[in-house]
Amino acid sequence: MTRMIHVFERTTYEAHEWVNNLAGRTGWQSERDVLRLLRTVLCKIRDHLPVNEMAQFSAQLPLILRGMFFEGWQPKVTPVRERHAADFIADVDDKVGDVIDYQGLSDIKAVFNVINDQISAGEVEDVRACLTQELRDLWPAP
């Protein structure tokens, strides 16, 4: 008999909430592509944060998304020196631009809005405060 472990059920449900929220904002049909966009933007944010802020932010992510958030992280190269919004957008474009539904900046902003919905306003403000003004301008205040 297979028994479900509650923490796995809960984190799966929470991760689906994030993906469904983002799918609703972007209008994308493929949950796989939505998850790729979400992961890409979360990792770009991660790479701009000092370690302490990254840890505080990640603590509010569902466990599954937290694993994706840290996958591939290279502490010795973060925080990145890239300070321009255009570079941030271009990097997301490079990783997600092959998705037929991808609309660039509007989809990136959709991820920021999902984060605003799912993470405490105080933590969002702390994360935004670690970013350059150009990057903060992309991310609507919660």
Total number of domains constituting the chain: 1
Residues spanned by the domain of 48: 6-138
Q: CA–CA separation, 124 vs 140, rounded Å?
A: 10
Picking from 57, 56, 51, the residue whose alpha carbon sits closest to that of residue 115 is: 57
The domain spanning residue 112 has which CATH number? 1.10.490.110
Residue 66 placed within a domain: yes
Residue 33 placed within a domain: yes
- In this prediction, residue 81 carries a pLDDT of 79
pLDDT in tens, 55-77: 999 999 999 999 999 999 998 88
CA distances to 43, 67, 94, 119, 139 from 59, in Å: 14, 11, 28, 10, 20
38-42, 44-48, 81-85: which has the minimum mean pLDDT?
Answer: 81-85
What's the first-to-final CA gap in the chain, in angstroms?
A: 45
Residue 1 placed within a domain: no
Reported confidence tier of residue 107, pLDDT bands at 50, 70, 90: very high
Residue 22 placed within a domain: yes
